[in-house]
Each structure stands twice: as structure tokens, then as C-alpha cells.
Amino acid sequence: MDPRTGFRKFAVSSVAAVFGLAGVVLAAAPATTAAMPSVYYVSLTGSNTNTGASVSTAFGTIQYAVVNVPPGSTILVEPGTYSLSTGGPVTITEDVTLESDAAHGGSASNTILDATGLSNGIVIAGPGSAGTTVMGLTVENAQKAGLVALATTGLTIWGNIVQNNDQSCATYGPECSNPGSNNGIPFGVSGSNVSSTGTPFTATNSIPCGNAEAGGSDCEALHLIGVTNSTVRGNTVQNNLDGGIYLTDEVGPTTGNLIADNVVQGNLVDCGITLASHVPGNGVSYNTVTGNLSEDNGAAGIILATPVPGGILVHNAVTHNRVIGNGLGGIDIHTHVAGSMVSHNVIAANMVSGNAPDFGVSMNPTTREPEAVGISIGAAGSPITDTVVTGNIITNETVAVYVTLLAQGTVVGGNR
């Protein structure tokens, strides 16, 4: 047990088990009675035998720094491309600030974490990581999510580039089902490649990414799971082989988060921004999605959905976003089965244009062909109640706003 936290060793071992990192050795913090600096450095020319207290005495790997600095420290990463296969995926279980060193020319464009061959690039996990900041980094080439956070609170994820992740999707085209990338991650957690029955996927029984309710691999690029009161702002999430930003509730409620001013574009298979309740009773609620650009993604631009009885999606706000040219409807709220609760969500003041036909949406009683739709409130089994759709600008769509008969108490007005 770490005397500073009382649970560090437990948290590290638990996260290692969940994310398939059991073989990764995380060094213990050095015992010392001297005052520790609050800022540490990592560089490509550094060494893990250094103190990390300056650029000239920088650590050599990010993971070593994360494990060895005191909680509350800032870790400045010098420009360069860091192969995480050398030091392991960055697994944060205590409060740190991890960012590019802007004072020495660092930025997200030149401070790159290359997660080739690993399930994830950055994992932020457990109550000890509360308050962590990740800023000004690129995370790329992971087999599954580039950045995943779970069971924590008060995070700031700001100004990063998360790109070219979900690489396990490439093996079977639009299906995130590479058996070699399973790494023991259980069903329902980002990077899962195991079905709901515990059976590893193969090329013949694979299910596309995002279908957690059917045992699929939820491997969107930036994933919050059971995270509360956190900010995801000013990030660019692009060209990932599955989806973009994902909020789910597999390990606890996901509530009170701000998803703002991000650019989410060109993500191949799935939705740009997704809020999805997968575990009965946990819920995804009181989150705000505002000021984002969701463009040219493979499925819906922004979606709120639950596929399980007991799923909860309430009091979420989707406002002031630009949702353009996505592969399904622009902004969607969906239920798929009886027994879920989807209520009091707001879609307001968004600009929605040029999105694709959405299956299940047709205003033509003869052909019943799917039609392009700007905003869709679609329920199957459970009603969607007390939704407000107002003040949106909707252009270049066959159907501006589609509301199912099961959408009870929906208020639609002031859209144009």
C-alpha cells in the first residue's frame, strides 16, 4: 500500500487486469524525505535514471513519470513522437497534469503518443485519478480507444488530437473484431473484444463496433465510462476507424460532464458524439454537449440512445453544435427496447445540414424508404418523454424534424 494514497497498488493492479496490462511493471515511487518538485519533464533524450526535475534531467518515458511523481504534479512532455510500446500505455491512477511543454515549443501537433499495437494510448482510471488533466497531446494508432477514462471525476481533457485509433477495426473492414487485440478486456469496457457471453470474437462471429448491447466492441476514440463532472474541450477527434467521443455507464453513472468546442470529423464507422446508457440503473444524465463540430462521420452526428431495459438518459443538453454531412441522421434520440427511461433532454440552437438518410425515418407512406433527417426522436418499446427541440437551423435535409408517436410531450418549435 502506498502511504501517500492508501490504495495505489490496489488501483494499479485492478486497472492492469481490466485493460489487459497485467504484464506491465509499474515502478514504485522512490522513497525520500526531501521536498519533491511539482513539475517534472519527459523527453526522448531523457532517462528513467534521471530526477526528471528539468529538461536536461528529464525522464525517458511518460509512464515512468506518471507512476513516480507525487500526486498533484505536472508532467511536461517535450516535443517528439513517443512509442508507447517502449514504456507501456500511459495508465494514470493518481491526480497529475500531463501536457506538452509549450514553453519549449511543445503542442499537440508535435508531441505525439504512438500507441501502435496497444489496446489504448492513455487510460485514466479509479478515484485516485480525480482531477487529472491531459492537455496538448496527440494520441494515435491504438487498437481500440486512444484515450479512455473510467470510474473517476473532475477530469480536464483539453486541446488534444485523438486520431487514427480503433486500428483493430481495419482487419475486418467496418468491424472492430481483431481477435489478436483482445488483451483480456471484459465485455462492456472500452477496447472489449469479448461478447456478452464471454466468447472472444472471430472473423465469423464479429459484431460491429458500438453494439455493446449485442456484445460489440465499443471502441470509439475518446471514451468516458462512469465519469462525472469532467470537461472534454477543444480536442480534435478525427480519422479514427470507428467513432469519435463516447460517454457510457458500464462502471457507474456518467453525469455532469461538459463536451464543448471539439472538432469530431472523419471517423469512419460510427457516430461523431454518442451518449449511451448500457447498464440498467446507472445512466448518462445532466451532460452538456455544446459548441462542437460533428462532420463527415460514418453514422449519426450526435446521438443519445439506450438499448437496454432500465437504461437511463435524462436531462442532457445538446446545444449550439454544427452537425454536417454525417452518414446517418444529424442529431438523434433513440430507445430500442421497452423499460428504459429517456426524458427531459434538450436539442436547441444547433446548425444541422446535409446529413444522410436515417433508417426508420420516412415520411413517404408509399415507399417507406429512409430519408435524410436533421433531428430524429425515434422510440421503439419505451417512450421518449418531455424532449425540447427548439431554435435549430436545419438545411439540406428531406425531413427537418422527425418525431415518433412514442415521443410523448415533445416540444418542437422555433426551428427553421
DSSP bridge pairs for 335: 306
CA distance 300 to 235: 19
Q: Please state, in angstroms and as integers, the Cα–Cα distance from residue 251 to each residue in 4, 85, 203, 246, following that order.
A: 26, 27, 28, 14
pLDDT in tens, the chain (416 residues): 333 333 233 233 333 333 333 333 333 344 444 566 799 999 999 999 999 999 999 999 999 999 999 999 999 999 999 999 887 789 999 999 999 999 999 999 999 999 998 878 999 999 999 999 999 999 999 878 899 999 999 999 999 999 999 877 665 444 444 333 333 333 333 333 333 333 333 322 233 333 333 333 456 899 999 999 999 999 999 999 888 999 998 889 999 999 999 999 999 888 999 999 988 899 999 999 999 999 999 889 999 998 888 999 999 999 999 999 999 999 999 888 889 999 999 999 999 999 998 876 766 656 556 889 999 998 777 899 999 999 999 999 999 999 987 888 889 998 98
Q: Please state, in angstroms and as integers, the Cα–Cα distance from residue 97 to each residue in 81, 157, 288, following that order.
A: 19, 10, 24
**What pLDDT does residue 241 have?**
85
80 within 8 A of 133, measured Cβ to Cβ: no
Q: Are strands 357-358 and 371-378 parallel, antiparallel or unpaired?
A: antiparallel
The distance from CA 15 to its chain's CA centroid, rounded to whole angstroms, is 17
* Ramachandran angles phi, psi of 16, nearest 5°: -60, -40
**What pLDDT does residue 16 have?**
35
If we measure between CA atoms, which residue out of 275, 276, 278 comes closest to residue 294? 275
Spatial CB neighbours of 102, under 8 Å, sequence gap ≥ 6: 136
Query: Sheet of 351-353: strands edge to edge?
Result: 80-83, 111-114, 138-140, 161-163, 236-238, 263-265, 293-295, 322-324, 351-353, 393-395
